[in-house]
Structures are given as structure tokens and as C-alpha cells.
């Protein structure tokens, strides 16, 4: 048994799904209705979540019902929040610059630290360890691992070389990279192409899965009616 709410919800879902499928015929009003409806709903829900999940419990409730230390602790984000709101006014926009600077500074620091400590160092170490024969896991062939390491190294360097466009002075005033560099760039271009292909396959897989799910949703509903 399907409840009324579920029925209505399902019907709306099917209707909106068909609206989105209508894009195959080109941009049309049905597709726009579906997209606008989705954007509006998402924005409304986001506003509600921001209030009930952030502002009220983390800013206002401690300020109103909290203890003195909690209030003092909340005072600083309260002031920064007020200054950030002044960015809306062209006249007082400069007053929100400190808050923006605080946010940007914290975010950049966090991102850089995480990238360096969480990605660069481990990945570089892992790439180096590929050439460590002692680091080969049991049951794995060292040569295979070595070849794999070499290939990874080649792909990494070739990809970086591909994005290097600096050249030296040429007497003929025709700047051009050296030929060996051009070959490496070509290999890098090959690796890049393979990567983009893999990414495209994944995107296609995801989209196909979403399509399949929608199709099954519709068919299940229709089958459920009968």
C-alpha cells in the first residue's frame, strides 16, 4: 500500500523526472520549471538548516541561555558575523573586510596545510617507495612493481613537462622547446588523455546509473499501479 503522501510525492517525482527528460528535445519550459523548482527547494531547505543547525544552536542559544564563559566565547563570532553582514552595504563594505580576511586566512591556511601534509608528502613518499624493492608487498613481483613505479614516474613527469611552456632564446626569434622535451610532452599528453578518458568513463557511468535508477523508478511506479 502506498500512502497518499507517498503517492503524491511519487507522482511529483515522476512528473519532474519527465520534465527533466524533456531536455532531450532541447531547452524548454518544462525543464526550466523542474530546475527552478529544485533550486528553490534546495535554497529554502539550506536556509532552514543554516538557522536550525548553526545560527540558533551555536550562536544565539549560548548567547541567551548560556553561561558567562559561553557568552564571551560567542561574542567574538557574533561581532565578526555582524561585520560580515556589512559587506552588503556599499557604504560600509570596508567594515566587513576584517571578517572576510579572517575567514579567508583561516581557510587558506587549512587548505594549504592539508594539501601539503595530506596529499603532497604522502603521495611523493609513495611514489618514491615504489622504487624500494624492500617495500614490495609479499606476493607481488618486484619487477612489476618497479615497472609500475617507473610508469607512474614517467607519467607524472611527462604530465608536468607537458604544462611547461618556457623556452630559451632562439637566434631565429622562433621560440620552440627542445625536441626531447617535445617528446616527453607528447607522452605527458598521452597520460593526460588517458586520465581524461577514465574520468569521462566515470562520469558516464554515474550518469547512466542515474538514468537507470530513474527509469526503474518510473517503471516501478507504473507496475505498482497495476
Partner 1 sequence: MSDIRCPMCGKSNPSERETCQYCQARLKPLIISQQPGEPSADKDPLEFLSQSTGYSASESEDEGIPDWLASLRQGDQTDIQSDEAEPSDEEEKLPDWMQAEKVKTAGESQQDEGALPDWLTSFRDSGTTAAVVPPDESAESAELPFVEEEPEWVSRLDETAGIPPDQSIDLAKPDWQDLVEEQEAQPETEPTRIEGSEQAFSIDDRLNELAEEYTRMQPKSGTDSVSEEAAAIPDWLSAVEGSEAEEEPESIPDWLAGALVSQAEPPGIATRDEAELPVPEDLSAALTQERAAEEIASGETGEEPLQLADLETTTPDWLDELVSSKPSAIVEPEEKEASSEIEVPEWLTGYDEPMALDLEKQIPDVGGGEESGILLDWLEEEAEEAPKEPEAVSIDTAVTSFVAPFALDEESQAFLESEESGWMVESADLEGSIEAAELPTEIEEEEGLSKAELPSWLAAMRPLETAAPASLVAEESERQVEGVGPLAGLKSVLPSEYDVGTLKAPAAYTVKLQVSESQKAHINLIDELIKAEGEAGEIPSRRILGPQHLLLIGIAVILLLALLWPVLTEKQTISLPAFSDEIFAASSQITNLPGNAPVLLAVDYEPGMTGELEATVNAVLDHLMLKGAYLTLVSTITSGPAQAERLVQEVSNRAGHTYQSPDQYANLGFIPGSLTGIRAFSETPNRMAPYALDGSSVWTEGPLAGFQSLADFGMVIVLTENPNTARAWIEQAGPLLGETPLLMVVSAQIEPVVRPYFEVGSQQVNGIVAGLPGGAAYEQMIGRPGPARKYWDAYSLGVSLIALLIILGAVINVTYYLLSSRKSTVGETKR
Residues in contact with partner 1 by the rule CB under 8 A: 24, 38, 42, 45-46, 49-50, 52-54, 57-58, 106-107, 110-111, 114-115, 117-119, 122-123, 125-126, 129, 135, 195, 198-199, 201-206, 208-216, 219
Nearest to 211, CA basis, from 72, 1, 17:
17
The upper half-sphere exposure of residue 120, i.e. CA atoms within 13 Å in the direction of its Cβ, equals 7
- Return the number of the residue (143 or 222) whose C-beta is nearest partner 1: 222
C-alpha to C-alpha distance for 131 and 120, rounded to whole angstroms: 18
Provide the CA 28 distance to its chain's centre, in angstroms: 29
Provide the greatest CA pair distance for the chain. 83
Cα-Cα-Cα-Cα dihedral sign, residues 214, 220, 222, 225: negative
C-alpha to C-alpha distance for 213 and 220, rounded to whole angstroms: 10
- Return the number of the residue (38 or 163) whose C-beta is nearest partner 1: 38
CB of 13 to partner 1, least distance (A): 11
- DSSP symbols for 58-91: IIIHHHHHS-HHHHHHHHHHHHHHHHHHGGGSSS
CB of 221 to partner 1, least distance (A): 12
- Return the number of the residue (79 or 108) whose C-beta is nearest partner 1: 108
- Return the number of the residue (144 or 205) whose C-beta is nearest partner 1: 205
- Return the number of the residue (183 or 211) whose C-beta is nearest partner 1: 211
CB of 185 to partner 1, least distance (A): 22
- In degrees and rounded to multiples of 5, residue 132 shows phi and psi of -95, 110
CB of 36 to partner 1, least distance (A): 15
| DSSP for residue 57 | I
CB of 179 to partner 1, least distance (A): 25
- Return the number of the residue (79 or 203) whose C-beta is nearest partner 1: 203
CB of 100 to partner 1, least distance (A): 14
Amino acid at each position: 500500500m502506498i500512502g497518499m503522501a507517498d503517492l503524491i510525492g511519487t507522482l511529483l517525482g515522476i512528473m519532474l523526472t519527465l520534465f527533466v527528460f524533456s531536455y532531450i528535445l532541447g531547452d524548454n519550459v518544462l525543464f526550466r520549471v523542474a530546475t527552478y523548482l529544485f533550486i528553490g527547494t534546495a535554497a529554502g531547505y539550506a536556509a532552514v538548516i543554516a538557522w536550525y543547525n548553526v545560527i540558533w544552536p551555536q550562536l544565539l542559544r549560548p548567547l541567551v541561555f548560556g553561561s558567562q564563559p559561553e557568552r564571551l566565547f560567542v561574542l567574538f563570532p557574533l561581532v565578526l558575523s555582524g561585520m560580515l553582514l556589512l559587506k552588503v552595504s556599499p557604504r560600509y563594505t570596508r567594515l566587513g573586510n576584517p571578517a572576510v580576511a579572517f575567514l579567508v586566512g583561516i581557510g587558506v591556511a587549512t587548505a594549504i596545510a592539508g594539501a601539503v601534509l595530506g596529499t603532497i608528502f604522502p603521495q611523493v613518499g609513495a611514489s618514491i617507495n615504489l622504487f624500494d624493492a624492500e617495500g614490495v608487498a609479499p606476493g607481488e613481483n618486484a619487477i612489476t612493481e618497479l615497472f609500475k613505479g617507473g610508469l607512474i614516474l614517467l607519467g607524472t613527469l611527462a604530465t608536468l613537462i607537458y604544462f611547461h611552456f618556457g623556452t630559451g632564446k632562439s637566434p631565429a626569434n622562433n621560440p620552440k622547446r627542445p625536441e626531447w622535451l617535445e617528446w616527453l610532452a607528447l607522452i605527458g599528453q598521452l597520460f593526460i588523455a588517458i586520465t581524461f578518458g577514465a574520468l569521462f568513463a566515470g562520469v558516464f557511468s554515474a550518469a547512466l546509473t542515474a538514468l537507470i535508477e530513474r527509469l526503474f523508478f518510473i517503471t516501478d511506479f507504473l507496475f505498482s499501479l497495476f
